[in-house]
């Protein structure tokens, strides 16, 4: 009987400790810990990823332009549309 009494105390203590640890972890995780420029390599990696994604997006838009999936000269970020706009502006400048 004494063993069960002790085990109840032990289990109760363990459950309270577990609850306290869970509350501490919950409170700790709720605060965002965003590291701002802690490592220059991370910023460089982020910049390279952005450049790579921009190139992929421009490639996709060039395919769309080639297949005439968007009207020529209207799509933002499309290199072929940008070329066309630049040519138009050069022609307008030469006309004036």
| Binding footprint of Zn ion on the chain (CB under 5 A) | 65, 75, 78, 80-81
CB of 80 to Zn ion, least distance (A): 5
Nearer to Zn ion, 8 or 90 (CB): 90
Nearer to Zn ion, 27 or 67 (CB): 67
What string of H, E and C letters represents the secondary structure of 27-78? Answer: HHHHCCCCCCCCCHHHHHHHHHHHHHHHHHHHHHHHHHHHCCCCCCCCCCCC
CB of 78 to Zn ion, least distance (A): 3
């Amino acid at each position: 009987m004494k063993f069960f009494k002790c085990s109840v105390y032990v289990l109760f203590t363990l459950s309270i400790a577990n609850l306290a640890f869970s509350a501490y972890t919950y409170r700790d995780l709720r605060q965002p810990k965003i590291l701002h420029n802690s490592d220059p390599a991370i910023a460089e990696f982020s910049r390279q990823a952005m450049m790579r994604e921009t190139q992929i997006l421009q490639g996709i838009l060039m395919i769309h332009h080639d297949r005439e999936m968007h009207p020529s000269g209207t799509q933002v970020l499309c290199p072929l549309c940008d070329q066309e706009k630049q040519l138009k502006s050069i022609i307008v400048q030469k006309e004036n």
